[in-house]
Amino acid sequence: MSAVDNIPHIPEKSPMSFRSVINNAGIGIALLLMILFFSVASEHFLSANNITNILTQITINLILAVGMTFVILIGGIDLSVGSVMAFAAVVAGKAITLPGLGATELIILAVLAGVIAGMVCGILNGVVSAYWSLPSFIITLGMLNIARGAALQISEAQTIYSFPFAFEEFGSMLIYGVPVVFLVALALVVIAWFVLNRTVFGRLIYGIGNNEEAVRLAGHPVFWYKVAAFSICGLTAGIAAIIYMARLNISSPIAGIGFELNAIAAVIIGGTSLSGGRGSVIGTLLGAFIIGVLANGLILIGLSDFVRQMITGLVIVIAVILDHYRAKYSAS
């Protein structure tokens, strides 16, 4: 018996529906206009090097935002991803600098350690907030401090450095000008898209965001789905940590401060509703591009740091206002 047939009365808002295509098209058009503006305003913007730069620059935010999409879709939020990334980076950094092992073993060990460290934090976030039905806002705020403290404790607040050469090479490798690390992020987007749209699990993630009670009444273990959503978010923070290390060839316990806000911004700009149940990971991809293009383009046209910060904030506010109208339009 297919589990999907058991879900009663969940308003079906498939991310591939006509409306959602229109929604994503709107974000896509905004991105295109931005690209158009910057390519006119700066001769460097569309250069091959700068495109490579932008792809590298959005990679970490995109990876974090993919995991964040799952959590926001169930109506939650994860404020801890920046700290969890630092924690995972420090754990992986300790692993990769262990003495007496070959480069291959060290890299495998570090990747496993980092990903597991991230996932453990995610599982804890999920279990605590779902079991006691507590707002994830507060639980992940707690985790934000726990993970940061743990990162500082383990590293004794020192930057960890000197990683195997092959690891560093992976971080800066290009295929036809496209950074391999960006391809990793893109692969995660594709996997997440498949999971959200083509699996029962994914449909239930939307279902929980729309009407948790209905999913529960249909006999689905809502608790475990919630834990899974937070674990995925922790997992992506772990992957982001590995990418951070490969790119910069260090692990820093103060990495990722404020990254959660950029990841949430990418998800929201991408049209995923903060109240859950509505949105798509393709939107998140576009949202991450909008933030990255904006950060890059505003430097290229020579705007000052402070003006740049104001404009980025403005874009987030506009995106949320647009989301308000989208919600109204969908409801009517």
Partner 1 sequence: MKLMKFAAAAATSILLSTSMAAAEDKPVVGLIMKSLANEFFQNMLAGAEAHEAERGDYELRAVGMQNETDFESQINAVENFITQGVDAIVVAPADSKAMVRPLKRAMEAGIVVVNFDVALDEGAKEQQGVELAFVGPDNRGGAKMAGDALGAALGEGAKVVIIEGNPGADNATQRRLGFEDAVAEHKLNLLDSRTAHWETEEANQVFSTMLTANPDIQGVMAANDSMAIGVVKALESAGRDDIKVVGFDAIPAVMPMIEDGRMLASVDQFGQQMAANSIDLALEVLAGGPQLEGWVKTPIELVAGE
- In the complex, the residues that contact partner 1 under the rule CB under 8 A are 42, 44, 47, 49-50, 53, 56-57, 60, 148, 152, 156-159, 161-162, 172, 244, 247-250, 252-257, 295-296, 299-300, 302, 305-306
Torsional class of 102: left (φ above 0), alpha (ψ -120 to 50), beta (otherwise): beta
Min dist CB 307 to partner 1, Å, is 12
Q: Determine which helix (DSSP H) or strand (DSSP E) holds 161, and give its type and residue range.
A: strand 160-161
Min dist CB 259 to partner 1, Å, is 9
Question: Considering beta carbons, is residue 173 or 321 the nearer one to partner 1?
Answer: 173
Buried b (16+ CB within 10 A) or exposed e, 55-85: bbbbbbbbbbbbbbbbbbbbbbbbbbbbbbb
Cα–Cα distance, 241 to 300 (Å, whole number): 28
Question: Considering beta carbons, is residue 274 or 300 the nearer one to partner 1?
Answer: 300
Question: Considering beta carbons, is residue 101 or 152 the nearer one to partner 1?
Answer: 152
Q: Which residue's entry shows tokens 């620059």?
A: 57
Question: Considering beta carbons, is residue 281 or 291 the nearer one to partner 1?
Answer: 291
- Burial of residue 124 (CB within 10 Å: 0-12, 13-18, 19+) is buried
Question: Considering beta carbons, is residue 109 or 295 the nearer one to partner 1?
Answer: 295
How far apart are the two ends of the chain, measured CA to CA in Å? 34
At a CB cut-off of 8 Å and minimum separation 6, what does 96 contact?
106, 107, 109, 110, 163, 164, 167, 245
The two three-digit tokens of residue 164, written as one number? 């195997």
At a CB cut-off of 8 Å and minimum separation 6, what does 238 contact?
84, 85, 88, 114, 115, 116, 117, 118, 119
Cα–Cα distance, 241 to 245 (Å, whole number): 6
Cα–Cα distance, 72 to 70 (Å, whole number): 6
Nearest residue to 279 via CA among 8, 1, 13: 13
Min dist CB 80 to partner 1, Å, is 16
Min dist CB 264 to partner 1, Å, is 18
Contact present, 144 and 80 (Cβ < 8 Å): yes
Question: Considering beta carbons, is residue 118 or 253 the nearer one to partner 1?
Answer: 253
Question: Considering beta carbons, is residue 182 or 225 the nearer one to partner 1?
Answer: 182
Min dist CB 152 to partner 1, Å, is 5
Min dist CB 185 to partner 1, Å, is 15
Min dist CB 239 to partner 1, Å, is 15
Min dist CB 28 to partner 1, Å, is 23
Question: Considering beta carbons, is residue 58 or 113 the nearer one to partner 1?
Answer: 58
